Amino acid sequence: MQTIEQTFQVQYSYAVYFTQHLFSLSNPLLQQFFEKTNTETGFQRKALVVVDEGFSEHHPELGRELSQYFATLIPHIQLAPEIITVPGGEACKNDVAQFDKLVKAVDVFGIDRHSFVIGIGGGALLDLVGYAAAVSHRGIKLIRIPTTVLSQNDSGVGVKNSINYKGKKNFLGTFAPPVAVFNDLTFLRSLDDRDWRSGIAEAIKVALIKDAAFFEWIEEHTAALAGRDEEAMAYLIHRCAEMHTDHIAGGDPFEFGSSRPLDFGHWAAHKLEYLTNFEVRHGEAVAIGIALDCVYASKINMLPEAGLQRILDVLARLGFELYHPRLSENDKINLRNGIQEFREHLGGQLTIMLLEKIGKGVEVHELDTEVIAQAVDYLETLPQLTESRILH
Amino acid sequence: MQTIEQTFQVQYSYAVYFTQHLFSLSNPLLQQFFEKTNTETGFQRKALVVVDEGFSEHHPELGRELSQYFATLIPHIQLAPEIITVPGGEACKNDVAQFDKLVKAVDVFGIDRHSFVIGIGGGALLDLVGYAAAVSHRGIKLIRIPTTVLSQNDSGVGVKNSINYKGKKNFLGTFAPPVAVFNDLTFLRSLDDRDWRSGIAEAIKVALIKDAAFFEWIEEHTAALAGRDEEAMAYLIHRCAEMHTDHIAGGDPFEFGSSRPLDFGHWAAHKLEYLTNFEVRHGEAVAIGIALDCVYASKINMLPEAGLQRILDVLARLGFELYHPRLSENDKINLRNGIQEFREHLGGQLTIMLLEKIGKGVEVHELDTEVIAQAVDYLETLPQLTESRILH
């Protein structure tokens, strides 16, 4: 019998909108989105909203605003009678009861594949909500409303979702694009300074490996960004989101091959997050990871010294710490093990992005653990230097 | 800030191979497949095998054959040290502990995204294994080796997977194509007559709505098929699988729109399976569902009487029962409720495929419950008729 060769393509499209006061009655963006997608007749479309607990506490008016917006402007979409709240941060991805709660809500409120799940929160919450939506009825339409810098410029605009499984980060997940992302700049006002800053690390990461001009822009706007200037932040998020979505569309969106996502500075970051029980936030760890890999690249004469100093300078002036004592513990063995773990994570072949110059990353397949240790020593002696630099 | 419009396509390709004695050392098919996919260097690829308990009991030599085949012909793939067995049938999809067992095995045996999960069993087991593979590490490569007629010609060659959730059939699942399907004709020898017959119902279904010539072929081969002729079954499976894969590739593979899969005869079948606690097997229920909808179509003067009689004749000569007492219980109210449940399942708008003539289905959006009741009465009085027909 002849072999059947099956081939087909699946097309994905979604928009990332940038706005302010998304749920204000004078903002028609969300209404227009639902109008535009209302192409099938005969179905009662519903929406289930899941909100980050912390965000909800900072925005006590959210529930009322949502009800009012839907009742007034989108009466044809039936809002589920209950808004589900979930603890934000990594905790929600560790607790399978949170996943169960969402799946149960999908069932109880009759959210079907013509309906929507709307996640409002940071990256971890959006990962959880995206996963629950992706596997319920084999995929309910997902709308992401990211409320942190990190989720607005990076994870929230991408195609991944996940939960942790018995301590294994992102062990369960799927590739499932949203149907829309709404980035509301005003939602960032309730962030504390650490979370505001953290998200900038991903922008620096992508600028360093892909876009020197963007890095120069960041360099010129460190004071504005550190001072919580919203206009500067709006530009940073937009440019970073744009580069992130371009990278996805231009490459291997669902990572079928061995291509890697944009994870410059991430091998040490992952290890450091783990070593500090996630007390160091992701963006803070990425800033240290970037610094470490840039010092490394400089030590092997790949990245010129002048470039290294500009990078460390930008990170320090944004307020990032560039060293953490856990990096040196146990004679740096924990950190060196991070290389081995990253190799396993990649399936046996190590691929690490390093910098050749600002704006150009190159992949290498080996790191010298002795040079890593020297790079850690370099960062340990650095704080005084950067302190003086900030004063200049 | 300008909206970012993200659009990309993802391409899926897989082959459905037809063979005999797949794990015999003289059959190079599986070896060739692994050679062909060995395009990335530097990764230790592994394989985790999950087998249907019932199939495993009928094939006690399976573990030894597998080990020998991999050790001799595919030494570059590292077989996980343990073959996982899972109870077959719907039970494995109801028990979340089975899902957990598979995810744990993926973790413990270090099965990453360069590695393979190989499911060997019937449709339910393949649904479970496919789901576990699809969500572990956001998608491990899945090889399906279906061991029943139904999974070889229908579900096993498609793109869906799922488990049940608190009694809700297929509530959790994804669309995730396999990387290959191997249909081994010799694996069907251990099926009992009911399972052998059951799978034929899906072939009749697809023939009736799409391909009159295929229906005529089945009509001419009822005796051979009922008598377990392997050559006839091989053709039936191939043609049915081909039509199923064509339907997927030509339509809306991941069902983003309101398009429906090929579920002619299925609304009553789903209800009957439920009403009999799944004592009636899926294919048996589909045969009754087809008979019911064909009688219905005849009663509303859509399907000519001669066509109806040919269809009932083929079903009866293959040995299918065309009536079950549960259809008439509670004055047929349970069955009538099935229409309402199917409407909800579809998201509010009912779409039912009926037959205009053999080889041509048409969709309707209403069924008259009184005519359904009359169709049930018709089937109840039918067995004697078909009995006499078989004797002719």
Query: Do A178 and A208 lie in a common domain?
Result: no
Task: Report yes or no on B321 lying in a domain.
Answer: yes
Using 50, 70 and 90 to split pLDDT, how confident is the model at A50? very high
Query: If you average pLDDT over residues A298-320, what whole number do you get?
Result: 97
Structure confidence at residue B349 (pLDDT)? 79
Given an 8 Å threshold on Cβ–Cβ distance, is A257 in contact with B177? no
CATH number of A158's domain: 3.40.50.1970
Given an 8 Å threshold on Cβ–Cβ distance, is B6 in contact with A40? no
User: At A172, which helix (H) or strand (E)?
Assistant: strand A168-175
User: At B362, which helix (H) or strand (E)?
Assistant: strand B360-364
CB B118 within 8 A of CB B143: yes
Give per-residue pLDDT as tens, A288-304.
999 999 999 999 999 99
Query: Do B346 and B234 lie in a common domain?
Result: yes
Name the closest residue on chain A to residue B9, using Cα atoms.
Answer: A11
Name the closest residue on chain A to residue B2, using Cα atoms.
Answer: A18
The residue among A1, A46, A141, A236 with the most chain B CBs within 10 A of its CB, best to mutate, is A1
Contacts of A253 in chain B (CB under 8 A): 8, 10
CB A7 within 8 A of CB B11: yes
Alpha-carbon gap: B58 to the closest alpha carbon of chain A (Å):
25
Buried b (16+ CB within 10 A) or exposed e, B48-83: bbbbbbbbbeebeebeeebeebbeebbeebbbbeeb
CB A382 within 8 A of CB A285: no
What is d(CA A14, CA A264) in angstroms, rounded to the nearest whole number?
26
Given an 8 Å threshold on Cβ–Cβ distance, is B4 in contact with A245? yes
CA A105 to chain centre: 26
Per the structure, the complete domain to which residue A199 belongs is given by 194-391
Alpha-carbon gap: A57 to the closest alpha carbon of chain B (Å):
28
Contacts of A235 in chain B (CB under 8 A): 1
Query: Do B213 and B354 lie in a common domain?
Result: yes
What is d(CA B296, CA B336) in angstroms, rounded to the nearest whole number?
13
Task: Report yes or no on A7 lying in a domain.
Answer: no
Alpha-carbon gap: B249 to the closest alpha carbon of chain A (Å):
5
Query: Do A186 and A201 lie in a common domain?
Result: no
Give per-residue pLDDT as tens, A329-344.
888 888 888 888 887 7
In chain B, the number of structural domains is 2
User: At B363, which helix (H) or strand (E)?
Assistant: strand B360-364
DSSP lists the bridge partners of residue B145 as: B120
Q: Which residue has the tokens 């017959």?
A: B197
- The DSSP string of B210-239 is H-HHHHHHHHHTHHHHHTT-HHHHHHHHHH
Query: Do B63 and B79 lie in a common domain?
Result: yes
Tally of residues, chain A: 392
Give per-residue pLDDT as tens, A182-221.
999 999 999 999 999 999 999 999 999 999 999 999 999 9
CATH number of B349's domain: 1.20.1090.10
What is d(CA B286, CA B272) in angstroms, rounded to the nearest whole number?
9
Structure confidence at residue B105 (pLDDT)? 98
Give per-residue pLDDT as tens, A217-252.
999 999 999 999 999 999 999 999 999 999 999 888
- Per-residue pLDDT of chain B (392 residues), as tens digits, is 899 999 999 999 999 999 999 999 999 999 999 999 887 777 889 999 999 999 999 999 999 999 999 999 999 999 999 999 999 888 899 999 999 999 999 999 999 988 999 999 999 999 999 999 999 999 999 999 999 999 999 999 999 999 999 878 899 999 999 999 999 999 999 999 999 999 999 999 999 999 999 999 999 999 999 999 999 999 999 999 999 999 999 888 998 876 666 789 999 998 999 899 889 999 999 999 999 999 999 999 999 999 999 999 999 999 999 999 999 988 888 888 888 888 777 777 788 999 999 999 999 999 999 999 999 999 999 865 444 444 33
Structure confidence at residue A391 (pLDDT)? 38
Q: Look at residues A163, A190, A217 and tell me which one is the last residue of a structural domain.
A: A190
Task: Report yes or no on B173 lying in a domain.
Answer: yes
Query: Do A171 and A206 lie in a common domain?
Result: no
Task: Report yes or no on B7 lying in a domain.
Answer: no
Query: Do B182 and B206 lie in a common domain?
Result: no
Task: Report yes or no on A60 lying in a domain.
Answer: yes
Task: Report yes or no on B251 lying in a domain.
Answer: no
What is d(CA A204, CA A4) in angstroms, rounded to the nearest whole number?
48
Task: Report yes or no on A9 lying in a domain.
Answer: no
Q: Look at residues A190, A210, A239 and tell me which one is the last residue of a structural domain.
A: A190
Task: Report yes or no on A181 lying in a domain.
Answer: yes
Query: Do B74 and B156 lie in a common domain?
Result: yes
For residue B191, CA distances in Å to B127, B186, B197 come to: 19, 10, 9
Helix/strand/coil for A255:
coil
Given an 8 Å threshold on Cβ–Cβ distance, is A8 in contact with B160? no
Query: Which ipTM score applies to this complex?
Result: 0.93
Query: Do A93 and A133 lie in a common domain?
Result: yes
Using 50, 70 and 90 to split pLDDT, how confident is the model at A278? confident
Structure confidence at residue A2 (pLDDT)? 95
Structure confidence at residue A382 (pLDDT)? 84
Query: Do B200 and B281 lie in a common domain?
Result: yes
Helix/strand/coil for A83:
coil
Contacts of B97 in chain A (CB under 8 A): none
Q: Look at residues A139, A168, A190 and tell me which one is the last residue of a structural domain.
A: A190
Structure confidence at residue A375 (pLDDT)? 96
Structure confidence at residue B385 (pLDDT)? 47
**Other CB atoms closer than 10 Å to residue B36's CB: what's the count?**
10
What is d(CA B269, CA B271) in angstroms, rounded to the nearest whole number?
5
State the count of interchain CB pairs (< 8 A) between A and B: 189
As a whole number, the mean pLDDT across chain A is: 93
Query: Do B186 and B204 lie in a common domain?
Result: no
Query: Do A184 and A304 lie in a common domain?
Result: no
Alpha-carbon gap: A204 to the closest alpha carbon of chain B (Å):
20
Given an 8 Å threshold on Cβ–Cβ distance, is A114 in contact with B348? yes
Alpha-carbon gap: B257 to the closest alpha carbon of chain A (Å):
8
Contacts of B3 in chain A (CB under 8 A): 15-18
